[in-house]
Amino acid sequence: MKRIAYILATTAAMTALPAAAQDAPLRPDRVAFHDLYKELVETNTTSSVGDCTQAARQVATRLRQAGFTDRELTLYVPPNRPRDGGLIVNWTGSNAKQPAMLLLAHIDVVEAKREDWVREPFKLIEEGGYFYGRGTSDDKAQAAIFSDTLIRWRQSGFKPRRTVKLALTCGEEGTNERVLNGAGWAVDNLPELMKAGFAFNEGGGGREAPGGGPETLGVQVSQKSPRNFILEVTNPGGHSSVPKPDNAIYRLAEALLKVRGLQFPVRLNPVSTAYLAQAGTLRKDAIGAAMVRLSQQPEDSQATQTVSGDPGLNAILRTTCVATLLDAGHAANALPQRATASINCRIVPGETAEQTKAAIEAAIADPEVKVLRSKIQERPVAVTPPLDPAILKPIAAIGAKHFPGVPVIPTQSTGATDATYLSKLGIPTYGIPGLWNDPATSGTHGLNERISADALYRGRDYIHDLVTYFASH
């Protein structure tokens, strides 16, 4: 821990800026970072018309200007996917016995329609202490910080003790069979470049306090696995002037109501248990007390009911399934011949897609309703890494220096990240904290995405010190 203090000593005075200094001119190192961040945000990388390859090349150019060689930089473009390229950096450390550290970030973004946004989504706009634009938070902030850290290291003459790798990939936001996941492609086709002893990724972050700054910081250790199913009902149909009791739409509707009522059992693991215990103590209400009790006694039915009443917490406790799309009928004056619904499930670690499918079939209990696997490309099943003190203690210790009094809590994400692909190589992957946000106003995957300048710059300082510590050990 002495080494942590040493690393922080050079930046402590700069990271603890008073509120009055927020409007002051940017530190010189932040000016360069801002330019990199701006270029990333303003490069459209949506799957429809964007170009991840261009964004990867732009970052590679900056790395070369800092002194990285072509041998250290691998720009890859999957066959027949000219806009889905990425960048892998391999900086060999001085101690070959130390396992490599991989920094993973995706540079693609969710679609954003200009007519729906208040501001231009592919222009970095600073307003009221926030940066607005698609990708400002998810995930170009972290991609820019990781890239900026390597640039600062090279420019300063820093030499890592362990090998450091950076992977900027495309396709993480893909939700259909036409999208290629770049992290998965790199794992399958460039495994030697991707192999590492552990990885840092998105998914941690933190929650913004009512008065600004972080209220909590999260380390994502566990995550649920998304799996999609199709409910399908077929029928001979007929003329709508002669209604029949056996109607495909009605039968599907009855099945959907049964899916709505399906509640999977509570299935806790070390990560979700630790989250309930630690996050519960921070709440001074009945839900907080129930969270603590549930962490100690998972069979406590009253505590389960109380915690399950919060949709966000309920999603941590168990597998969930929800209807997301409907398609039925072929003419306004005809009985429907086919009716389908998409069911999106988020499966907790330790359960399988087969078990989930069987539970849906049992709940519906109607042989005329088929439960089919969706054609959407699915991620590998998430593998939960250990709650390793060698990883978690430095994360918390450095967090305490940058954010005094803010708890760092292990979390289980209800979503999914590219960490699932790294599990194919056996790489324990952690979503690191630092970039906090308010879920209600961040606009992630929605309209007017934003991140506070305070979170971006202080998060950058924290993440820089964090990866510097691990690169030095």
Q: Specify the residue for token string 């698609």.
A: 134
Helix (H, G, I), strand (E, B) or coil at 138: coil
d(CA 384, CA 364): 31
> 52-66 vs 28-41: helix axis angle to the nearest 10?
160
Q: Give the pLDDT of residue 36.
A: 98
With a cut of 70, which residues of the chain have pLDDT below it?
1-24, 175-177
Query: What confidence score (pLDDT) does residue 180 get?
Result: 93
What amino acid occupies position 254? E
- Give residue 437's identity as a one-letter amino acid code: N
Please give the model's pTM, rounded to 2 decimal places. Answer: 0.90
> Tens digit of pLDDT for each residue in 289-346?
999 999 999 999 999 999 999 999 999 999 999 999 999 999 999 999 999 999 999 9
pLDDT of residue 26: 85
Roughly how many angstroms between the first and final C-alpha of the chain, as a whole number? 11
Q: Which pLDDT score, from 0 to 100, does residue 9 have? A: 41
CA distance 121 to 104: 24
- Domain 2-223+382-471 annotated CATH 3.40.1160.10: no
Predicted local distance difference test score (pLDDT) of residue 176: 64
Sequence ranges of the domains in the chain: 2-223+382-471, 225-373
Torsion of CA 349, 428, 154, 134, to 10 degrees: -10
Alpha carbon distance 353, 392 (integer Å): 30
The tokens describing 470, both together, are: 């691990």
pLDDT tens string 20-67: 334 568 888 999 999 999 999 999 999 999 999 999 999 999 999 999
CATH topology for 225-373 is Alpha-Beta Plaits (3.30.70)
314 touches 266 (CB < 8 A) = no
Residue 117: the pLDDT is: 98
> Residue 431: which of 409, 400, 406, 403 has the closest Cα?
409
pLDDT score, position 24: 63
Q: How far apart are CA 11 and CA 384, in angstroms?
A: 33
